[in-house]
C-alpha cells in the first residue's frame, strides 16, 4: 500500500489550526463495517459516535488537543473519513479533524473484512500526522489507535486469510518504541480465533466484549486520552482498560 502524505486541513479549519498551539493527541478509530455488523450493531455504533462527538465538544481537556480520524473496513473495502466526509482513495488531505470541529460519519454495514489493510493504513496516517506536527513545530502525545471488530480478517473476496500475521512483528516493535498505543477490541460474537488475532496485535490492550458496548468503549478512549495528557504510565492506562473490560466505569477514579 502506497504511503499517504496528508496535507494540512482545508480552509475552513485554517483559523483553528493557526490559533491552536496545544499539544496534540492523534486518535484513529479503525472500525469494522462488514456485513456482520448490519442491523442493530451498526445502528449502535452510529448512535455511540454521535453521542461521543458531543461529549468531545463539551470536554475542555480534550476538545483542543485531540484530533480524530476514522478508518472503516467493510462495504467499500478500506475507507478513510475526514469527519462525515469519505475521502477519495488517493486523497492527500489529512483525515484528522480537531475534536471541537469533529462530526461523526454515518456508517453502513456491508462487504468483507479487510482488517489487515485497515490497520496498515491506520499506522500510515498516524506516522504521517506525527511528521506533519513536527514540521509545524507542534508537540504531540502518544497517538492512539482503536481497532474494533466482530470478525476475522479476510481477503477482498471474503475468504479468511493469515496475512494479518505480517503485522505482528511490526506492531510489536512500534508499540515497544511507543510510536502509538493500540487498543484491539472484539465485540458481538467474535470467536476465540478472532480473540487470538487481537491478542497478537495488542498484547496489553485487547478485549473480547459481549454485545456492542460502543458508547462505553468510546468513553474509555476519552479517559485514556485524558490519562495520556496527564503523563500517566502504562500501569494507569492498564487500570482504566481493565475496569472497562469488566464493564465498570473506566473513566471514573
pLDDT string in tens for the chain (253-residue length):
444 443 444 444 443 444 567 899 999 999 999 999 999 999 999 999 999 999 999 999 999 999 999 999 997 799 999 999 999 877 888 999 999 999 999 999 999 999 999 999 999 999 999 999 999 999 999 999 999 999 999 999 999 999 999 999 999 999 999 999 999 999 998 999 999 999 999 999 999 998 999 999 999 999 999 999 999 988 999 999 999 988 644 444 3
Go through 190-221 and write b for each residue having 16 or more CB atoms within 10 A of its CB, e for each that does not: beeebeebbebbbeebbbbbeebbbbbbbbbb
Longest dimension (CA), the chain: 48
Nearest alpha carbon to residue 1 among 156, 176, 137, 105: 156
Helix pair 214-229, 234-245: axis angle to 10 deg: 170
DSSP symbol at 88: P
* The three cell numbers locating residue 55: 461529549
Please give the sequence-ordered ranges of beta strands (E in DSSP) within the chain, or none if there are none. Answer: 25-33, 66-74, 77-82, 85-86, 97-98, 144-149, 181-186, 206-208
What are the structural domains, with CATH classification, of the chain? 22-245 (3.40.50.410)
* The three cell numbers locating residue 27: 486518535
Amino acid at each position: 500500500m502506497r504511503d499517504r502524505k496528508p496535507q494540512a486541513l482545508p480552509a475552513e479549519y485554517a483559523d483553528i489550526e493557526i490559533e491552536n498551539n496545544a499539544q496534540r493527541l492523534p486518535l484513529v478509530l479503525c472500525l469494522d463495517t462488514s456485513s456482520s455488523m448490519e442491523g442493530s450493531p451498526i445502528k449502535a455504533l452510529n448512535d455511540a459516535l454521535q453521542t461521543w462527538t458531543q461529549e468531545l465538544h463539551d470536554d475542555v481537556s480534550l476538545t483542543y488537543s485531540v484530533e480524530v480520524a476514522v478508518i472503516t473496513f467493510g462495504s467499500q473495502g478500506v475507507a478513510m473519513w475526514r469527519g462525515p466526509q469519505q475521502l477519495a482513495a488517493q486523497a492527500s488531505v489529512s483525515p484528522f479533524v480537531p475534536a471541537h470541529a469533529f462530526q461523526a460519519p454515518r456508517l453502513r454495514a456491508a462487504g468483507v473484512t479487510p482488517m489487515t489493510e485497515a490497520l496498515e493504513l491506520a499506522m500510515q496516517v498516524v506516522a504521517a500526522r506525527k511528521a506533519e506536527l513536527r514540521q509545524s513545530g507542534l508537540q504531540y502525545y502518544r497517538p492512539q489507535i482503536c481497532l474494533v471488530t466482530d470478525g476475522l480478517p479476510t481477503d477482498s473476496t471474503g475468504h479468511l486469510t493469515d496475512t494479518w500475521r505480517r503485522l505482528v512483528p511490526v506492531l510489536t516493535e512500534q508499540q515497544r518504541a511507543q510510536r502509538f498505543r493500540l487498543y484491539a477490541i472484539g465485540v458481538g460474537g467474535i470467536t476465540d480465533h478472532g480473540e487470538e488475532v487481537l491478542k497478537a496485535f495488542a498484547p496489553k490492550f485487547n478485549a473480547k466484549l459481549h454485545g456492542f458496548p460502543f458508547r462505553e468503549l468510546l468513553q474509555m478512549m476519552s479517559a485514556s486520552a485524558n490519562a495520556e495528557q496527564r503523563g500517566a504510565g502504562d500501569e494507569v492506562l492498564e487500570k482504566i482498560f481493565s475496569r472497562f473490560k469488566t464493564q465498570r466505569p473506566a473513566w471514573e477514579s
